[in-house]
Amino acid sequence: MHQKRLSAPKILPIPRKEHKFTVKTMPGPHPKERAIPLLIIVRDILKYCSTYREAKSIIARKEIYVDGRPIRHHQFPVGVMDVITVPRLKQAFRVLPTIGEKLTLHPITEDEAQFKIVRINGKRLVKGGKLQLNSHDGRSFLFDLSDVRRDKKLKKYNVGDSLKISLPDQEILEHLPLKEGMYGLIVFGKNMGKVGKIEKITPGTAFQKPLVTLSYDGHEVTTLLEYMIIIGKDEPEITLPEEILKWPEIEASRT
């Protein structure tokens, strides 16, 4: 299934006028406006091949892993914080935002490829007396209420917090709460690709969604709270591209 390039989501890092059509993202863990089809990653970003047929064949042979699991469908949606590994080439990448409302693949070490950070987007009680947490990448974490009552840490999990989890078994390694002083990364919207410490969290109202203000190197930026992911306490838990670390300079050069 294909989609016209001119009407494709802005987040796709592809030439718009080079060809008429591109690959359409299938339904999956990330919404299409925030995801890249796996085939585009293989062919256009990593440049492992030059044609649609070759990229589709590479994926069908289970040579590309997402979050520690082989993916066979070329339209699979890959989104922010996902870890791409290519065992045969011993290469690993993390999907991160860039300045300019695009996604990029940042090379990471084998050790860093063993975990990812997910944002808690939902928290609710489900049948069977369990607490369910839903993350930004479509995952669900289930806990028995008896465990929640005994473990004070589980009670503190809230929407907007982040979890550092192991791959592929998604064991929770660390809880990163949403609060002032934490490191945040903007992953969507006009300010995506900017990082900083949380200076202020503005609660939502009937007319305005919650906002968050980040501070970095003497600069501040405010965005919707839902556009940001907590990535660390005293420092980021993940390595970041130079473009993200130098966003104030890049922004100044464009004005």
Which residues face 135 on adjacent strands?
120
Pick from 8-12, 142-146, 196-200: least confident: 8-12
Which residues belong to CATH 2.40.50.740 in the chain?
114-176
- What radius of gyration do the chain's Cα atoms show? 19
Angle at 49 between CA 45 and CA 53, to 5 degrees: 110
pLDDT of residue 66: 98
Give 154's pLDDT tier (boundaries 50, 70, 90): low
pLDDT band at 111 (very low <50, low <70, confident <90, very high): very high
Quick check: helix, strand or coil at residue 155?
helix
Q: pTM of this prediction?
A: 0.90
CB 16 within 8 A of CB 5: yes
Q: How much is the pLDDT for 250?
A: 86
Cα–Cα distance list, 132 to 143, 155, 194 (Å): 7, 12, 30
Q: Which of 92, 95, 139 is nearest to 118 (CA)?
A: 139
Q: Which two tokens mark 138?
A: 């479509």
Q: Coil, strand or helix: which one is 42?
A: helix
Find out whether 225 and 160 touch, Cβ atoms under 8 Å.
yes
CATH 3.10.290.10-classified regions of the chain: 2-79
Residue 118 pairs in a beta bridge with: 163
Q: DSSP readout, 46-98?
A: S-S-SSHHHHHHHHHTT--EETTEE---TT-EEETT-EEEEGGGTEEEEEEEE
Class of CATH domain 2-79: alpha beta
Among 15, 192, 16, which Cα is nearest to 102's? Answer: 192
Is the separation of the CB atoms in 232 and 183 below 8 Å? yes
Over residues 164-196, the pLDDT tens digits come to 999 999 999 999 999 999 999 999 999 999 999
Residue type, 255: T
| pLDDT computed for residue 24 by the predictor | 79
| CATH 2.30.30.30 location in the chain | 183-247
183-247 in CATH: which number?
A: 2.30.30.30
Instruction: Examine the pLDDT at 20 and tell me if it is beyond 60.
Output: no
- pLDDT greater at residue 196 or residue 255: 196
Tens of pLDDT along 214-251?
A: 999 999 999 999 999 999 998 999 999 999 999 988 88
Tell me how far apart the alpha carbons of residues 195 and 223 are, in angstroms, rounded to a whole number: 11
50-104 pLDDT, tens per residue? Answer: 999 999 999 999 999 999 999 999 999 999 999 999 999 999 999 999 887 789 9
Query: Considering the chain, what is the average pLDDT of its residues?
Result: 89
Q: Which residue has the tokens 């100044």?
A: 252
Please give the pLDDT value at position 130: 86
Taking CB atoms within 8 Å and a gap of at least 24, the contacts of 12-19 are 12/36, 12/40, 12/102, 12/103, 13/40, 13/44, 13/45, 13/102, 13/103, 13/104, 14/40, 14/44
Q: Show the tokens assigned to 18.
A: 């080079």
Phi, psi of 56 (to 5 degrees): -60, -35
Average pLDDT over residues 161-166: 98
Q: Report phi then psi at 249, rounded to 5.
A: -65, -45
CATH architecture of 114-176: Beta Barrel (2.40)
